[in-house]
């Protein structure tokens, strides 16, 4: 047992040294995190329902998350990893740790200062955010209290995300991913243990989850040799490089997160504002699950290789196109699956109890349908963003994301305030803006790299999109026939069988058609998973070594 425990611990703490192994580890932990996230949301709607109270809790988290994104998240996602890794590649660990300590000191201090100001001004700020007065005075008072508590959890979460970025730079992916999953577990504990306190339960759980997120990573942080020291040295060259690279992305992130705040303001003009916001959040969570699983995971794993190849355009283009097509191959069938099976999926995930009634199910499903249109573009945008980061270009993303955000908000305001449409129009506006931004970024990157092989790309994409089109019919026909002639879908087991049979039929058709059309990505994935015993050899052949990546 001791030997088994030691081997298990070594496996967990070992470094990942190639793209596919890193992506596999990231995906596995993302699946765990998303499963716990689904349990969390199901518990919320089953215990409290899609009520205004849940809407208050969801709305209260927007500003703390906005503050976190602006203060530290942008620096970690776009600037910290390349610069920290550059120090490590030169064996300058002391300088790397000094820069990391300076960034954590400055970032956490700034968050504390702004958090205190936000907590004091919470009633005024939240009142402005909810101009439509869709929330009652009692609900606004609850929102203020919840937001103040959430700021505490967000500070701890900030430290945890910093640890995650540092460990990923050292090619440790499992522990950070697993720790992030425990964040959702903490919220689940809060919901169940403190449900008698209403929305204070998940808020307390937020703090518990953030504590778990931080504490689980500390042993590995020590293992890689990082020891935090308070450092307010603004003259630190590494910190200055991070600040220089992050400012365009910070501005675009501020604009993007302001869109979340303004979206709440738009929803506040609707009747039952809290309920509408909850249903929008539930639909968005389902739609973006494959974006996180496939898009973010592949993009995150490919980022170091793209950064290494920034001075070699041909290799850069090869890595980008390969990752682009592999991502497209995975997310398109998931998109049509969510589009066609939206109602049974919503019922399976969130339940069909009296707290989550049929009108709520239908509205969530329809909103999910509009969001699912943008699953492929949101996934590909993750890879495109990492490509521009690898080229040390953050200004292009600033312009594109700003224009995209204004387009989404403009369309949403027109649909909601002008035409008096519902939350589905927000999902539609988001999808339109996302697809346009993805196309613009792709064309700009193509120009920067002096062109892609368009004939090859169009031919490849045409085959994948054609297979996806026929897959949609393969999903639609069984679900209609089985729903009307075979299964009584008021029972959970029948609903599960209906969804499972239809999904299996669609996946089989998609794999068969992509094989028939000779889609390269189909053969790549089939070969990878055909023989479990040869997975190590396959991954070595298909991967790029990232252990010695230089930035």
- Residue-wise pLDDT tens digits, 396-407: 888 888 888 889
What value does the CA radius of gyration of the chain take, rounded to a whole number of Å? Answer: 23
545 has which bridge partners?
18
pLDDT tens, 267-296?
Answer: 777 777 767 878 888 898 888 888 888 888
Q: Could you tell me the CA-to-CA distances from 73 to 157, 164, 180, 257, 281 in Å, in that order? A: 11, 11, 15, 12, 21
pLDDT tens, 120-146?
Answer: 998 888 877 665 455 778 888 898 999
Chain CA centroid to CA 120, Å: 30
pLDDT at 545: 33
Q: Which are the contacts of 497, defined by CB distance < 8 A and separation ≥ 6?
A: 487
The whole-angstrom separation of Cα 462 and Cα 102 is 49
pLDDT at 417: 82
422 pLDDT band, cuts 50/70/90, is confident
6 pLDDT band, cuts 50/70/90, is low
526 pLDDT band, cuts 50/70/90, is low
* CA dihedral over 440, 444, 445, 451, signed as positive or negative: positive
Determine the average pLDDT of the residues in 252-276.
73
Q: Which are the contacts of 347, defined by CB distance < 8 A and separation ≥ 6?
A: 361, 489, 495
Domain boundaries, the chain: 18-452+519-542
| Percent of residues, the chain, with pLDDT higher than 70 | 82
Name which of 335, 433, 439, 329 is nearest 384 in CA terms: 439
Q: Could you tell me the CA-to-CA distances from 217 to 166, 278, 362 in Å, in that order? A: 10, 32, 41
- pTM exceeds 0.85, yes or no: no
Task: Look at residue 539 and tell me whether its pLDDT is greater than 50.
Answer: no
Q: Could you tell me the CA-to-CA distances from 497 to 338, 475, 502 in Å, in that order? A: 16, 13, 8
pLDDT tens, 340-385?
Answer: 888 888 888 887 555 677 788 889 899 999 999 999 999 999 899 8
Name which of 190, 189, 193 is nearest 203 in CA terms: 190
18 has which bridge partners?
545
Could you tell me if 282 and 50 are in contact, meaning their C-beta atoms sit under 8 angstroms apart?
yes
pLDDT at 452: 82
Task: Look at residue 535 and tell me whether its pLDDT is greater than 90.
Answer: no
Query: Is the model more confident about 475 or about 352?
Result: 475
The whole-angstrom separation of Cα 360 and Cα 447 is 46
Reading the block at residue 255, the tokens are: 């604009």
Q: How many residues does the chain have?
A: 551
| Backbone torsions φ then ψ of 373, nearest 5 degrees | -60, -30
186 pLDDT band, cuts 50/70/90, is very high
pLDDT at 97: 87
Q: Could you tell me the CA-to-CA distances from 386 to 28, 82, 327, 378 in Å, in that order? A: 21, 11, 14, 13
First to last CA, the chain: 42
The whole-angstrom separation of Cα 472 and Cα 462 is 15
Reading the block at residue 222, the tokens are: 């020590």
């Amino acid at each position: 047992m001791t030997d088994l425990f030691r081997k298990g611990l070594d496996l967990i703490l070992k470094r990942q040294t190639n793209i596919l192994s890193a992506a596999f580890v990231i995906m596995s932990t993302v699946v765990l995190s998303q499963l716990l996230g689904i349990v969390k949301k199901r518990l919320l709607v089953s215990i409290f329902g899609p009520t205004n109270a849940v809407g208050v809790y969801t709305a209260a988290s927007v500003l703390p998350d906005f503050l976190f994104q602006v203060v530290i998240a942008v620096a970690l996602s776009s600037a910290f990893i390349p610069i920290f890794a550059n120090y490590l590649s030169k064996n300058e660990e002391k300088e790397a740790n000094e820069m990391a300590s300076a960034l954590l000191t400055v970032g956490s201090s700034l968050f504390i200062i702004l958090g205190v100001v936000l907590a004091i001004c919470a009633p005024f700020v939240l009142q402005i955010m909810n101009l439509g007065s869709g929330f009652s005075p009692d609900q606004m008072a609850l929102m203020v209290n919840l937001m103040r508590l959430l700021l505490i959890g967000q500070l701890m979460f900030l430290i945890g995300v910093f640890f995650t970025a540092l460990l990923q730079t050292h090619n440790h992916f499992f522990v950070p991913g697993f720790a992030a999953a425990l964040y959702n577990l903490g919220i689940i504990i809060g919901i169940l243990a403190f449900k008698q306190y209403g929305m204070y339960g998940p808020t307390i759980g937020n703090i518990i989850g953030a504590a778990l997120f931080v504490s689980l990573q500390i042993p590995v942080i020590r293992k890689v040799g990082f020891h935090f020291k308070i450092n307010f040295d603004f003259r630190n060259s590494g910190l200055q490089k991070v600040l220089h690279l992050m400012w365009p992305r910070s501005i675009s992130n501020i604009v993007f997160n302001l869109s979340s705040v303004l979206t709440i303001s738009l929803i506040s003009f609707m009747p039952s504002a809290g309920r509408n916001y909850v249903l929008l959040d539930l639909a968005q969570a389902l739609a973006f699950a494959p974006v996180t699983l496939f898009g973010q995971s592949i993009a995150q794993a490919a980022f170091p290789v793209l950064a290494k190849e920034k001075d070699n355009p041909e290799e850069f283009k090869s890595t980008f196109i390969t990752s682009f097509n592999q991502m497209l191959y995975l997310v398109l069938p998931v998109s049509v699956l969510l589009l066609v099976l939206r109602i049974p999926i919503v019922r399976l995930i969130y339940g069909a109890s009296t707290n989550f009634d049929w009108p709520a199910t239908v509205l969530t499903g329809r909103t999910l349908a509009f969001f699912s249109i943008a699953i492929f573009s949101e996934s590909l945008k993750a890879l495109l963003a990492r490509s521009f980061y690898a080229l040390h270009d953050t200004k292009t993303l600033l312009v594109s994301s700003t224009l995209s955000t204004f387009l989404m908000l403009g369309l949403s305001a027109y649909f909601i305030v002008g035409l008096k449409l519902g939350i589905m129009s927000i999902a539609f506006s988001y999808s339109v803006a996302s697809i346009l931004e993805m196309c613009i970024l792709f064309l700009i990157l193509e120009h920067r790299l002096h062109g892609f092989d368009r004939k090859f790309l169009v031919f490849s994409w045409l085959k994948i999109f054609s297979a996806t089109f026929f897959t949609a019919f393969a999903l639609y026909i069984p679900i209609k026939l089985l729903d009307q002639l075979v299964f009584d879908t008021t029972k959970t087991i029948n609903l599960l069988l209906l969804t499972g049979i239809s999904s299996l039929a669609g996946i089989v058709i998609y794999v068969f058609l992509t094989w028939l059309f000779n889609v390269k990505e189909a053969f790549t994935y089939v070969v990878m998973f055909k023989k479990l015993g040869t997975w190590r050899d396959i991954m070595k052949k298909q991967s790029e070594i990232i252990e010695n990546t230089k930035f």
